[in-house]
Structure 1
Amino acid sequence: MKAVPDLLLLSVVHVIDFLKPVKAKQTAVRALFVFGDSFLDNGNNNYIEDCDLKSNYPPYGVDFPLGPTGRFSNGRNAADILAEHLGIPDYLPVFNNPQNKGDRILHGVNYASAGAGILES
């Protein structure tokens, strides 16, 4: 039974080491592309007309500097935190926003959508 605690400890150490902030001179990660459901959605469903799974109204975003954006949280989500730790500047853009093309997605884009459906319906 000793192997299980050692394995768990090893995993925790790797996660902690992975989440250390990247120094400004390190540019190992240039972009982050996020896929997922409501845990990572940053507003993709706002641009799907017939979608009922939206969170672009209070109380969502009560602790987020930009207010309610479509994140299903009161503040930053896991993708925002990971991007910050990897040294990605700003917040990842929303894929479904028609303005997010070209240079606006150089550091990655967030494809996550609440409901995690592959079809817009």
Structure 2
Amino acid sequence: MADQPPIQAYGLACIRCGAAPVVHWTRRLTDDEFAAFTALEQARRDLETALADPQKPPPGFGPLPAESDNVRTIYACIDHAISLEAAALVHQKTCTAPPCNCAPEPAPEPEPGPMPTPLPDSWINA
């Protein structure tokens, strides 16, 4: 029993060699992954509609998820890691990192902070 490698949770292993991960980043879903994801969501909606109480209004759903709303986490070990700056960005669905061969999406613009509260006139004109 001691000769066996430790069991890792599904998906939490380096995509190249299966070693324990030390870094992760995200990429967009491939066309096949996105098709499977939307099919699963549509099946869930169909089941919920079929099981709904016919004496109540039918369940309401928003639009199906868009490709830009979904990412997949990619894990890598120390030997196959990418830079911290690159890992902080969302990569294209064709990214085969490591090595990264795509142009990641730009980082989102930071949200502006709250405006400072103005000082009372008595503090300024003292």
TM-score (norm 1): 0.25
Greater radius of gyration (CA): 2
TM-score (norm 2): 0.24
More strand by share: 2
